[in-house]
Structure 1
Amino acid sequence: MSKPESDSKSAAAAGEQAAVRIDDVAVRFRTRKRDVTALQEVSLDVAMGEFVAIVGPSGCGKSTLLKMVAGLLKPTTGTVKLRGETVDGPRHDIGYVFQRAALLEWRSARRNILLQAEMRKMPGDRAKARTAELIEMTGLTGFEDALPHELSGGMQQRVALCRALLHEPPVLLMDEPFGALDALTREQLNVEMNRIWRETGTTVLLVTHSVAEAVYLANRVVVMSDRPGTIREIIDVDLPAEREYTPTLAKPEFASVAARIRELLGAGGAAD
C-alpha cells in the first residue's frame, strides 16, 4: 500500500517523462532573526495524468512545493522539472487554484473565466467555446452572467476552477481550494473534481488538510513531516478512478489508507 521515503518516485513515472519531477529539493528562508529550512531532501515524480494529494501539518512546506512547480519560488538546492523542462521562472503551462476564488467583483462569472484568455491572448472563438464547455462541465449553466456576490462560495470556486482550466493546462495545482467551504459543498465539489479530472486527463497536485478529501481524490497521497518538511511516506490509493462519494468512504481500502495517513500525522495532524 505504501512506499517508504527512499522510494518517493512513482513507479508509474519510471521510464517515461514525468509531468512533474522534484529532485532532492531544499528551501531555506532568511528572516531577521534566523534562517528557516522549510523543505529538505524532497524528491517526487508525478506521472502524466496522475492525481497526487499532499497532506501534512501546517507550516510543513506543502504550499511551498506548489509554488516551486509553478516557478514562483526557486529551490535553494535541487531541481524541479515540468514535463522534462527545468523550472527556472513562472510557468505559463500550469493552472493554479487557490483557497479563495479571487474573482473580480465587477465581472460576471463568464467574464471572470475569460480573464485568463485575455491575459494569455487566446483566440477569441476558441476561448468562448472552451468557456461554454467548462461552464457546462462544472454545473454553472444559468449563472454565466451572475456577478460574484450573487454566487455561493462553491459556485465561486467552480468559476475559479474554470478559469484555471481554460487554457487546457497539462498540470493543475490546487492549494486547499475547498478548505473554506461548508462540508456539504466540499463533498459536492470533490465529486465534481473527480469527474473533471477523469474527463480532462489533467495532472493534478492537490494540497489539503483533509484526509478524507486526499484519499477520495488521489491516486497517491504524499504525507509530509513537520518543518523542515520531508516526505514521510507515499501511499497508493487502490481504488477505481471513478468514485461515488459515500460508497467510496465506506470501502475498507479507503479506511486503511486514511488510518495510515492519520497514524503518520499523529493526533490532530489533519482535519476532515
Structure 2
Amino acid sequence: MGNVLQIDAELKNIVVRNEIDNSPFKIGDSLLKIENKSIDSFQDFISIVSILNNNESVNVLVKRDNSIFTLKCSKEILEKIRFNNLISGFATLTYINPVTNKFGAVGHPINIGNTKKIPIKSGYISCTNNLSIKKSSKGCVGCVSADKKFVIGDFHSNTNFGIKGNVSNLDLCSYKKYKVASLDEVKLGKAQIILQDTDNKCKKYNIEVVGIEKQRRPASKGIKIKIVDKELLRQTGGIVQGMSGTPIIQDDKIIGAISHALENNPAMGYAVHIKWMVEENS
C-alpha cells in the first residue's frame, strides 16, 4: 500500500490523442471502423489507411462518450492526426486483498479526452524507484516520475474508482494488514496517508479529514482532505499527479484513497470512500 506504480496498458481501441484544424475528431474518440472495416489493432489502422484514395471522403465509425456515430474526413486528416492504443503513467497502489491477491489503484477512472473509463485490452503495474517530484503550487498541480523496476501485476478493469487486477509477483509478508472502514466509521479530524518516499519506503504522512459527504450510493469525492504534514508539503507542495490512489488510514483502518487535487489549493483534495472502491465490480 502506498507504492508508486508505473501503469502501462494496451487499449481495446485506437484513440485520438490530438486535434488539428479542419478535423472532425476530438481527443479521446475511439476508432471502431474505417470504410466498414474493423480496427482491432494499430496495424489494422495503418493497413486500411494505406489503401485509401487521396481524393475521396472517408467514413469513420467512432465512439465518443457513450455515443457511436460516423464521421467523414479525408485520408490526409487520418494521416496527420496522432492515434495510438497505448497509455503509460504513474499512480499509487491503494490496497491488495491478501486472500485473493486482487489489487485496486488510482482512485478514479482512466479517461482520455471525452472517453470515460477507456476500455483496456491488457494492462500491467510495475513497482518503481528513484522517485522525482515536481512540486505543486497554486494553479499548477505537480507530478511524480520514477524508474520502472519490474512488473508485479496485471489488470483489465478500468472502473469509476480506479483500476483493478491481480498481483502475482510481490511478497506480501512484510505488509501491514488494515481493516476496511465502513462509511459511518469515517470521521472529521486526524488521519494519515501512506506513500512511497524518495528513499523508496512507504511512509505515513499526516493529513486532516475536513469534509465528509453522506453518500448512499457509490460516488466520487466522498471525503475532503487537507495535507498538513510539513515534510510532505516541503517535498510535494500538496497533492501531485501520481498520488491518485494513495490510501488513507484513520483509527488503524483504511477509509479511502486520494482521487483529486484542488488546483487552486493543492494542499486540499478529495478522496473516494474505500467501500465504493473495494465493492465496485467485485
Same-fold call, TM cutoff 0.5: no
Larger RCO of the pair (alpha carbons < 8 Å, separation 6+): 1
TM-score, length-normalised on structure 1?
0.23
TM-score, length-normalised on structure 2?
0.23
Relative to its length, the structure with more helix (as a share) is 1
Relative to its length, the structure with more strand (as a share) is 2
Query: Which of the pair has more CA radius of gyration?
Result: 2
